[in-house]
Amino acid sequence: MKYSRRDFLRLASQYSVGGVVFSSLPLSAISAMRRPVSPNEKINFGLIGANGMGWANMRSILKSSEANCIAICDVDMNVVAKRAEDCKEITGKKPKGYGDYRNLLENKDIDAVVIGTPDHWHCLNLVNSLEAGKHAYCEKPIANSIEESFIMADAVAKYGKIVQVGQWQRSGEQYRDALEFLWSGKLGGVRLVKVWAYQGWYGWVDDKPDTDAPKGVDYNMWLGPAPMRKFNENRFHFNFRWYWDYAGGLMTDWGVHEIDIALYGMKAKDPVSVMASGGKFGYPDQDTETPDTLQTVFEYDDFTMLWEHANGIDGGNYGRDEGIAFIGNRGTLVVDRSGWEVIAEIDHRGTKKPFMENIPKIDATERALDSHTKNFLEAIKNNAPKTLKCDLDSGSIACINSHMGNIAYKTGEKIYWDKKNKSFSSNQKATDMIKPEYNNGWSLPSL
């Protein structure tokens, strides 16, 4: 079915909650948004990792008429075939398919790439893309280790390309407005920031036996630098995030989003110390490795940050499944993807009255992912990296802090960060976890 622009506007209102348009908008409706653009104005994209968020990002980018997807790479050729047809429905042309991202990067017609592979691939994908002269939109977390994060930042500095990190909350109006209130000083001194993700809808998997990889899947390529092991469906699409070889569980999956806003708001970067406690308490018998329950305390120069998460449970702090709370002497600001509010404190030592009026929840009214990808496209067109909402340096802060939380959990110790030497003071066990070990003939990039 073909959709006019008027049809699109009608559908957009139907596929939204609080004004936030979801990705279920029909592809033909997205096609109706696009207008003819001169080839000289086109930005040609290649998609590396076309399932899940890789496709969500590419789909969002294609809402802009200037963007075109001419190449798709995935180790699962079934995914390549499906996304190629999806792209054709939006743009009218079928992109070329690849099974090895290095071959895609040889295509001189590609200006930029979207990286949507599992976390353990991000460093290689990004560094190689920059070496090939491509701009990049890299899904979060930017890396599966602290060392990879440093390497990726160095690569951006060396090659000077436009790199946006998929921490799209940076482009949400509710976060912008909430942070402006925070920076006004009306909360008073902020002594504690809480960040959390209670995700009742996912995080558990039923045990399954090892099998041969499905037809059309290059499993050795999927493993890449991760340790060799038999294929298991639980470790493949989506659920890879619950295994240390490929990701860092909810700490890095959701943590980078929330911690990013928390540290951006507090204008902080390096913690003094980190300690964590948790485990597989909700689903102890499953073969997943990352903790389904975790509390992590980050100490900074003049405040502490508390991260907590739980798989399989909804209803977190302040009645919100996820969010950030800046707790000040005069009030608490709470913000999440649905909106923000301020809860006043009582002046117990003085007037016995609230320090300020409460601000009832102000709902979000936009799809922040679309704003984020649009910001990326504008930065490319204007060659303006400073206009990015979340460049690689910004994205690395939340990623590095999240991995510090996981290292504290793994060691079971309070760890102290030596930012000058980029190590954990007097804790060799923790320091050894900064740098990953690459396998199967792959090497950690060096610049």
Domain match, 10 and 89 both:
yes
Instruction: Supply 254's token pair.
Output: 């959701």
Residue 303 lies in a domain: yes
Encoded amino acid at 50, one letter: A
| CA nearest neighbour of 288 among 226, 231, 222, 205 | 205
DSSP label of 184: T
Radius of gyration of the chain measured on its C-alpha atoms: 22
Domain match, 356 and 220 both:
yes
Domain match, 194 and 249 both:
yes
- Do the beta carbons of residue 275 and residue 416 sit within 8 Å? no
User: How many other C-beta atoms are found inside a 10 Å radius of the C-beta of residue 100?
Assistant: 12
Domain match, 226 and 132 both:
no
Residue 442 lies in a domain: no
> DSSP string spanning 255-271?
HHHHHHHHHHHHT----
Domain match, 180 and 329 both:
yes
Domain match, 344 and 276 both:
yes
Domain match, 405 and 381 both:
no
Give the CA count within 13 Å in the CB-facing half-sphere of 184: 11
Domain match, 15 and 64 both:
yes
Q: How many domains does the chain have?
A: 2
Residue 440 lies in a domain: no
Residue 441 lies in a domain: no
What pLDDT does residue 261 have? Answer: 98
Question: What are the helix and strand counts (H, E) for the chain?
Answer: 14, 18
Alpha-carbon gap, residue 76 to 219, rounded angstroms: 8
User: How many other C-beta atoms are found inside a 10 Å radius of the C-beta of residue 159?
Assistant: 18
Domain match, 285 and 312 both:
yes
Instruction: Supply 149's token pair.
Output: 């994060």
Question: Any idea what the CATH number is for the domain that residue 115 is in?
Answer: 3.40.50.720
Taking the CA atoms of 186, 394, 300 and 311 in sequence, report the sign of the dihedral they define.
Answer: positive
Strands 112-115 and 273-279, bridge-based pairing: unpaired
Question: Any idea what the CATH number is for the domain that residue 189 is in?
Answer: 3.30.360.10
Alpha-carbon gap, residue 242 to 234, rounded angstroms: 9
What pLDDT does residue 175 have? Answer: 98
Distance (Å) of CA 89 to CA 33, 44, 62, 211, 270: 13, 17, 11, 35, 46
Alpha-carbon gap, residue 129 to 372, rounded angstroms: 20
- pTM, rounded to two decimals: 0.93
For the chain, first and last CA: distance in Å?
50
Strands 423-424 and 415-418, bridge-based pairing: antiparallel
What pLDDT does residue 24 have? Answer: 62
Residue 60 lies in a domain: yes
Alpha-carbon gap, residue 12 to 172, rounded angstroms: 18
Domain match, 320 and 380 both:
no
Alpha-carbon gap, residue 199 to 129, rounded angstroms: 33
φ, ψ (nearest 5 deg) of residue 357: -80, 145
What pLDDT does residue 11 have? Answer: 37
What pLDDT does residue 21 have? Answer: 37
Alpha-carbon gap, residue 210 to 290, rounded angstroms: 19
Residue 447 lies in a domain: no
Domain match, 134 and 278 both:
no
Domain span at residue 346 reads 171-366+396-431
| CB within 8 Å of 393: residues ≥ 6 apart | 153, 156
Domain match, 314 and 386 both:
no
Residue 44 lies in a domain: yes
Strands 415-418 and 16-17, bridge-based pairing: unpaired
| CA nearest neighbour of 110 among 128, 92, 90, 85 | 128
What pLDDT does residue 15 have? Answer: 34
Taking the CA atoms of 249, 253, 254 and 260 in sequence, report the sign of the dihedral they define.
Answer: positive
| CA nearest neighbour of 318 among 358, 274, 278 | 358
- Do the beta carbons of residue 290 and residue 296 sit within 8 Å? no
Alpha-carbon gap, residue 18 to 338, rounded angstroms: 8
Residue 446 lies in a domain: no
pLDDT, tens digit only, all 447 positions of the chain = 444 444 433 333 333 333 333 446 889 999 998 998 888 899 999 999 999 999 999 999 999 999 999 999 999 999 999 999 999 999 999 999 999 999 999 999 999 999 999 999 999 999 999 999 999 999 999 999 999 999 999 999 999 999 999 999 999 999 999 999 999 999 999 999 999 999 998 877 888 999 999 999 999 999 999 999 999 999 999 999 999 999 999 999 999 999 999 999 999 999 999 999 999 999 999 989 999 999 999 999 999 999 999 999 998 999 999 999 999 999 999 999 999 999 999 999 999 999 999 999 999 998 999 999 999 999 999 999 999 999 999 999 999 999 999 999 999 999 999 999 999 998 999 999 999 999 999 999 998
